Amino acid sequence: MQRIKNIILILGVFTLGSCQLTEVDTVSDITNEQYWSTQGDVESYLFGIYNKMRNEQNSTFRFEDRGDSFVPGLESGLSSAWNQNLSPQNAPDWLGYYNLIHHCNLLLTYGAQMEFQVEQEKNQILAETYFIRAFSYFNLIRTWGEVPIELEPTESASEEQLARAPKSEVMTQILADIENALALFPGDGLVTKSRASKSATYALKADVLLWKSKVLDGGEEDLLAVITNANAASEGLSLESDFSQIYDSENKNGSEVIFSLHFEVDEKSDHYARNLKPRDIFVQDAVNFEALPYARSGARSNYMPSPKLIAAFDEHTTDTRRDASIIEAIAQDGSVIGIFDNKMRGTVVAENREYDSDIIVYRLAEMILFKAEALAALNRPAEAIVELNKIRNRAKIGDYTGPSDKNTVELEILKERYREFYLELKRWPDLLRFHFGGTVNVYSEVPNLVGTTVPLYFPIPVVQIDRNPNLEQTEGYE
Amino acid sequence: MKLLIKLNQRLRNIHLLPLLLCTVATVYGQNETTITGTVYGETGTMPLPGVNITVEGKSIGTSSDFDGNYSIRVASSDVLVFSYIGFKEIRKTVGESTVIDVTMLLDAEELEDVVLIGYGKQSRSTVTSALSNLDEVEMQKAPGANPLLQLQGKVAGVSLQIQDGQPGSNPQIFIRGGSSTSPEGDTPLFIVDGIVGGMRNISDLNPDDIKSVQVLKDAASTAIYGARAANGIIIVETKSGSAGKTQVNLRLTTGFDAMQKKLPLLNARDYVYLSRKNTAQFNTTNPDFFLTGGRFGMSTGNPRDSKNTLEFLDVYLQDYGQDYVADLINNQGWETMVDPITGKKLIFQNNNFQDATFQLGQRTEIDFDISGGGDKVNYYFGLGYLNQDGIVRGTNYKNYSLLYKGNFKLSDSWTLNAKASLSIRDANAPNNYEWVLARSVLLPPTYRKYYENGLPAPGEGISSFRNRLHEIHYKTKYNDLNVYRTTFQLGGVWDIMPGLTFSPSAYYFSTEGVENYFEAYNETVTNRPASARHNLDRHLQFDGLLNYDLSFNNKHFFNTVLGTSYNHDYSYRMSGSGREALTDHIPTLNATSEETQRVSTTINYDAMLSFFGRVNYHYDHRYMLSISARYDGSSRFAKNNKWGFFPGVSAGWNIHRENFFSPLSEVVSNLKLRGSWGKTGNNSLSIFDSRGRYSTGYMYDGNVGILNTTLINDDLIWEETASFDIGMDLGLFDNRVNLLVDFYNKETSERLFDKPLWSSTGFSAIKSNYGTISNKGIEIELNATVIDNENFSWDLGATFAYNKGIVEELPENGEDKNRIGGNFIYDPTTGGTIKVGGIAEGERFGGRWAFNYLGVYQTDEQAASAPNDLNASGRTKYAGDAIFEDRNNDGVLDNRDMIFMGYIRPSKTGGIVNHFKYKSLSLRIVTDWAVGHVIDNGFKARVMGSARNNNNAYKESLTDTWQYEGDDAIYPKYSVQSDYDYNFRNHNRWDYQIGNASGGANNSLYYSKGDFLAFREVSLSYQFPKRVMDDLNLSGLELYVGVYNIGYLTRYDGLMPELYTGRDYGTYPRPRQVNLGAKVSF
């Protein structure tokens, strides 16, 4: 009997002491209740956000494919955006942007409550986060138009199912974040050009206001503000004298760059520019094989620069941007095997080429052309031409000599942007701005849009409406 | 505590009861004497309580008490009958004696009928739950690495899905349809010699060491394991020694593995003809890109000793001379033919990349064991060695195993048992199954296998997939992957008093993986990448078990188990990588360039604490009742939701033991009805699902970035599976025919599932408890001795299982049937659309829909009237393109035009085992089958659609693809321009969320039924007769030969129909295996 009592005692002790036994440590990852306790948590989180932002930006899908810069490459593999056959069935998901926004919301909620030894360091981080959130919503509004405005982090399954907010509200939100960022940046806010700064925020604001004035019926006031913001963003910068220097791997974050997303192969692979590059075997019999930015693996010629783009370059035989932007593979008999991107050539490492160009978000040339665009829209073409010529002269094509009426100058600015920013994720929003601004008809500019009525904003996936019945499909689809 | 003491007092009181009853029973009788005595167990020292003592021909009796003592009043002419389950009956004539002590001997035959149940054993005859077992006979001659494969077709209700033919790889296994809609989550719980859940699989266990495999299927039997038991349990017991003469066994097996079937690929001549002719015929935009420049397999422009061999003969003659060309043709297997386009002569080498990828695998297995023991000690010692090649070149599996088990009798009341095992696995699997199995084999046959210097050529020349010979030479051969598994167990059994034992056990189980990878410098990969991994998983388990056996009046039998278990798991991962070493001589990381080196480690813990108990009761082997309960606490849930309660109850009735049944007993020797209900749980979630997760690994500009990657859900609770089972055991003609029938209904509620979220939350899903699914089914196992003569016998075993899985309940979401996922299709009955697919209430899951292929457009005019094909992205259709049915006639081909193809998992499975014996010769024929599933042959669709512009084609492409107007072809035109990338979309189509999201064709042309009958085994063994053995001084010698996975009877045209994922993207098929072996016993 005593023995039984002993056993029961042992079992009893085991039982009573057991509650602790079901608790374990989490070592290599952090749980919600542990995070947001030190300054380092906030700093690391910001880098995480940049990592995510780079992922989102590393694609031609939203801002190039629907434009007129690409034709099918050697291997084909064309996106639904390029084909202009977007439908609710194959619609792109905005999950990536909202994931980025969730991270911003989380940092803005919890990071703001943290104590920092130096208050300015916290403000710097918050300002950068406001910039990224504004930038994300700006990408959303340019892609889908009306979008839900999520300003709180997602912390449970029972979040409110938000409807798509009118464009004007989204625009107001973007501008509010920009103002928050500008107010919080200490000094010029420049830590490195690979992170957002006050200059980058001015650049974004100029971009946003141009969109507002041309696409969302903003006023003259906005256009004037574009000029002041573009000027503010330009401070301390100078144009590269040689256009090919801008994307040279040896000259990352050069004198012209305002803000770029850092790219290096060990951190991030599959640069979007690889989709316009040849695999070695496709061009192995080219006479200029060695000059081509081929790679053994990691390259795929899904697209080629379009004849329309090449024609724009070829308008001026002296244009230095042509060879710095595109390259042809020439066969023995002089015929062209294929045409490839030559702007983002990457770096040769261990006998293979890695595409590692930074994704430049804003650079000085764009500020100059923003000004030109705003001035032209304000019907001040003469001043616009002055700005335009700065870009033309750097490209060695001389001053603009054509007609100086508003519309022609605006057309010329659009074309200049075409040549200057090819593959820099600007073309589709450019076409939309000048379309809504009345300069061109995008349905005749883009070959795949000719004769169609595909809406200019993107659809959302049907399944998203299933999951959140408060969402409505983008106008014009179904 | 108090409750336990009370319970214990109760039990103490109960044991007085039989004594009282005994007294009553002995009151009457004449000329009688009182006989007393003690009954002992087999050892002769341990008293055996609860032994039935009856008097032959009279209705009096008693049973032994706790100390084995009994007393009974009988006449001197009476015969006493001592009986006890599992022991041989003993008869003693009373005569003059007044004290009769007996020692009961174990009955070997009865013992075989003892089955493993959770935390104990039970006589099969009183088991009330649904379980099946497989004994060592099935394991002994298993051809190769994974013992699990031996379950196929032999246990009703267990379905194995073979993922690949890599030796040692694990099949996906579900018991009774699993409990979720995702098969990965349906793995049953493995219990190997008491270690619960530490092993996710048993692939490295030496089949020769296995004594039995038990499958617990219903919740009444699994509830004692509570958590994690929802998907059923597989209990594996390894061999132990037993008292007696030392036994030595040596088994040698050798054999080979080969492909069952080859892909019907074209030779170089036909490939060149077809691909060049069709390029000229169908590619009118840039044919030269495909035909010249050495870019593709069908391109000319390949100089001497380059990767590709195709060139115009005159170029070769001019550039390299007559002698060189003559040597190629006469000695190197080169051929010439007329180019269908230019009419000029072509020269090329014919290479078979299927042969370069697959091989005939060799296998050697040696098993050695010694067992024996005496009164105090018994032991089993097993050594095993297996070396098996895969049928894919460069793959193999080596395993060294060691098992030691011992039992020590320390004193009358203490026994100690110890186990130690070690296994070392050294295996090399394909680095990437898709590249090796779906791409390397398809290299155009015009590519070189070897350069002129004898070194392997890469094929197309990219690093991802290539000539398998090249990959092995520069990469695979450097792989060094070892896994060390060690188990230690120390347990004791304390016989506290008769019938009451306490067994504490401690277990240590660890799996350590050390992996090194390196790729030498070669033309496709120039930076010598190296990587290494070190993984350590450690499972600690402490069990305490109180077992109490009680019986009285020879009628009431109790077995009570009370226990606790603590499980603690630790996992450690270290990985490192680097590149740009300057030499091929050092394949480890120390030679790589420092700035490229990266290293990472992670640590994770998991813990579970459990309390459980069970009472088994039967009355006179007639009425059985079992009640069990378990209370589990898991570290994976949030504080308030850690604990789950899992009860189980079952009852049974042995009808054949009733008196009224005796007229029938000539025919029906055994009839048992069983019923059970129980609840089990599932905690298949990560600790971070309930606490939220912030992960590192988001570097930016050299800085460490952290992000919130898992959404917190601290409301998560245990997933519960309640199952209900009714069964019958039927034995006919003295159990020559045995039938087990079970009906079950399993309902899983509060499913732990990734609940989809709408995207603006920033997350696509959150782990949640939601929905209910059910699995209903029938299982039948039949075993019969059809013929049983002195010299010849035929045993037949057959299994059948039918399972139907249905979604019962989903959270309210405003959709019809609360459907989640899916899409709209045309409904011909209403003319409108209905939503199908995904998961929905009342529907079976795993349905697949596809575009309905109707044939080929014969003319461009006909094609011009084709509906707008969204898949084709506005591309104009021409003659030779596929006609897909526009079911709703809206002029657009989209999801609304898709039709139902079938379900991805079979609904009925079964197997038949035939065992013939003639004298010492024995023959086994095993078949198994599955019906009710469909397979989308995406692999074939990609081949027929030339998915890479540069792959070999099937023979059918030559004969059965569309060529000219009026050609009544089976397939659309064959073009080397990728059907997929160039938007032809005649073969591969979008899935629209109701087809196969990846790897399938979503085209009815490539769908077929997966129903199959597999000829699994034909084997023959010969046991040398005893007199020969005596001459040789051996105790046994057996020779055997067998063929396994012989082939299939199926309509499916891929390599293997055992695919339950809906699509075939190119599999590593199960090899056909031949086994030759000998077993010697001393």
pLDDT at residue A8, rounded to an integer: 61
Instruction: Tell me the average pLDDT across B929-947.
Output: 94
pLDDT at residue B624 above 50? yes
| Contact status, residue B778 vs residue B802, Cβ threshold 8 Å | yes
Phi, psi (degrees; rounded to nearest 5) at B181: -90, -5
What is the interface pTM, i.e. ipTM, of the complex? 0.92
Q: Which of B288, B758, B875, B982 to mutate to test the interface with A (most CBs of A within 10 A)?
A: B758
CB contact under 8 A, B874 and A85: yes
Contact list, B301 vs chain A (CB under 8 Å): 285
Would you call B231 helix, strand, or coil by DSSP? coil
pLDDT at residue A19, rounded to an integer: 55
pLDDT at residue B575, rounded to an integer: 93
Whole-angstrom Cα distance, residue B720 to residue B706?
35
A185-189, B123-127, B352-356, B845-849: segment of lowest average pLDDT: B123-127
If we measure between CA atoms, which residue out of A236, A237, A244 comes closest to residue A364?
A237
A284-288, B229-233, B1006-1010: segment of lowest average pLDDT: B229-233
CB contact under 8 A, A26 and B990: no
If we measure between CA atoms, which residue out of B741, B731, B621 comes closest to residue B668?
B731
Instruction: Write the residue in B601, B694, B821 that is nearest to A29 by C-beta.
Output: B694
Dihedral angle over CA of B870, B873, B877, B882, nearest 10: -50
pLDDT band at B429 (very low <50, low <70, confident <90, very high): confident
Contact list, A155 vs chain B (CB under 8 Å): 711-712
> Looking at the complex, does the CB of residue A382 fall below 8 Å from at least one CB of chain B?
no
A409-418, B128-137, B442-451, B1048-1057: segment of lowest average pLDDT: B128-137
Q: Which residues pair with B465 in a beta bridge?
A: none
Q: Max Cα separation, chain A?
A: 111
Closest Cα in chain A to B294: A281
Instruction: Write the residue in A19, A29, A279 that is nearest to B688 by C-beta.
Output: A29
> Looking at the complex, does the CB of residue A29 fall below 8 Å from at least one CB of chain B?
yes
> Looking at the complex, does the CB of residue B66 fall below 8 Å from at least one CB of chain A?
no
pLDDT at residue B686 above 90? no
Closest Cα in chain B to A81: B873
pLDDT 10s digits, B248-269: 999 999 999 999 889 999 999 9
pLDDT band at B987 (very low <50, low <70, confident <90, very high): very high
**Is pLDDT larger for residue A212 or for residue B174?**
A212
Q: How far apart are the first and last CA of chain A?
A: 80
pLDDT at residue B182, rounded to an integer: 57
pLDDT at residue B606, rounded to an integer: 87
pLDDT 10s digits, A23-51: 777 777 788 878 888 899 999 999 999 99
Tell me what the pLDDT averaged over chain B comes to.
86
pLDDT 10s digits, B870-889: 888 878 899 999 999 999 99
> Looking at the complex, does the CB of residue B609 fall below 8 Å from at least one CB of chain A?
yes
pLDDT at residue B392 above 50? yes
> Looking at the complex, does the CB of residue B713 fall below 8 Å from at least one CB of chain A?
yes
Instruction: Tell me the average pLDDT across B365-379.
Output: 87
Count of beta carbons in the 10 Å neighbourhood of residue B158: 26
Burial B396-412 (b: 16+ CB within 10 A, else e): bbbbbbbbebbbebeee
pLDDT at residue A2, rounded to an integer: 62
CB contact under 8 A, A467 and B757: yes
pLDDT at residue B1004, rounded to an integer: 96
pLDDT at residue B172 above 80? no
| Contact status, residue A233 vs residue A178, Cβ threshold 8 Å | no
pLDDT 10s digits, B945-977: 998 889 999 999 999 999 999 999 999 999 998
Instruction: Tell me the average pLDDT across B408-436.
Output: 88
If we measure between CA atoms, which residue out of B1049, B1054, B1053, B1051 comes closest to residue B1066?
B1054
**Is pLDDT larger for residue B140 or for residue A287?**
A287
pLDDT at residue B7 above 60? no
Closest Cα in chain A to B582: A350
> Looking at the complex, does the CB of residue A255 fall below 8 Å from at least one CB of chain B?
no
CB contact under 8 A, A50 and B705: yes
If we measure between CA atoms, which residue out of B160, B734, B194 comes closest to residue B421?
B194
Instruction: Write the residue in A27, A33, A34 that is nearest to B603 by C-beta.
Output: A27
B:549-568 residues touching chain A, CB 8 A cutoff: 562, 564, 566, 568
**Is pLDDT larger for residue B549 or for residue B165?**
B549
Whole-angstrom Cα distance, residue B774 to residue A321?
66
pLDDT at residue B4, rounded to an integer: 39
CB contact under 8 A, B759 and A94: yes
pLDDT at residue A230, rounded to an integer: 97
pLDDT at residue B363 above 50? yes
Q: Which residues pair with B92 in a beta bridge?
A: B80
Count of beta carbons in the 10 Å neighbourhood of residue A158: 9
pLDDT over 70, % of chain B = 94
pLDDT band at B10 (very low <50, low <70, confident <90, very high): very low
pLDDT band at B24 (very low <50, low <70, confident <90, very high): very low
A:104-143 residues touching chain B, CB 8 A cutoff: 106
Contact list, A270 vs chain B (CB under 8 Å): none
Q: Which of B298, B600, B714, B760 to mutate to test the interface with A (most CBs of A within 10 A)?
A: B760
| Contact status, residue A69 vs residue A427, Cβ threshold 8 Å | yes
pLDDT at residue B467, rounded to an integer: 94
Instruction: Write the residue in A27, A83, A267 that is nearest to B700 by C-beta.
Output: A267
pLDDT 10s digits, B626-665: 999 999 888 888 777 888 899 999 999 989 888 888 888 8
pLDDT at residue A14, rounded to an integer: 55
The first and second tokens of residue B1004, run together, are 């009815």
**Is pLDDT larger for residue B106 or for residue B271?**
B271
B:898-957 residues touching chain A, CB 8 A cutoff: 949
C-alpha distance from A290 to closest chain B C-alpha (Å): 16
pLDDT 10s digits, B657-671: 888 888 888 888 889
A52-61, A421-430, B906-915, B1001-1010: segment of lowest average pLDDT: B906-915
Instruction: Write the residue in B301, B756, B993 that is nearest to A467 by C-beta.
Output: B756
Tokens 């009183």 -> residue:
B126
Instruction: Tell me the average pLDDT across B1058-1070.
Output: 87
pLDDT at residue B109, rounded to an integer: 44
Q: What is the pTM of this model?
A: 0.86
**DSSP string for B89-156:** -EEEE-TT-SB--EE--B-HHHHHTEEEETTEEEEGGG--S-EEEEEHHHHHT--SS-GGGGGTTTST
pLDDT at residue B840 above 60? yes
Closest Cα in chain A to B8: A4
Phi, psi (degrees; rounded to nearest 5) at A282: -75, -25
CB contact under 8 A, B693 and A29: yes
What residues of chain A score a pLDDT lower than 70? 1-21
Instruction: Tell me the average pLDDT across B610-614.
Output: 91
Q: How far apart are the first and last CA of chain B?
A: 54
pLDDT at residue B509 above 60? yes
| Contact status, residue A219 vs residue A243, Cβ threshold 8 Å | no
Instruction: Tell me the average pLDDT across B124-152.
Output: 75
Whole-angstrom Cα distance, residue B517 to residue A347?
26
pLDDT at residue A4, rounded to an integer: 58
Whole-angstrom Cα distance, residue B233 to residue B186?
11
pLDDT band at B19 (very low <50, low <70, confident <90, very high): very low
Count of beta carbons in the 10 Å neighbourhood of residue A225: 20
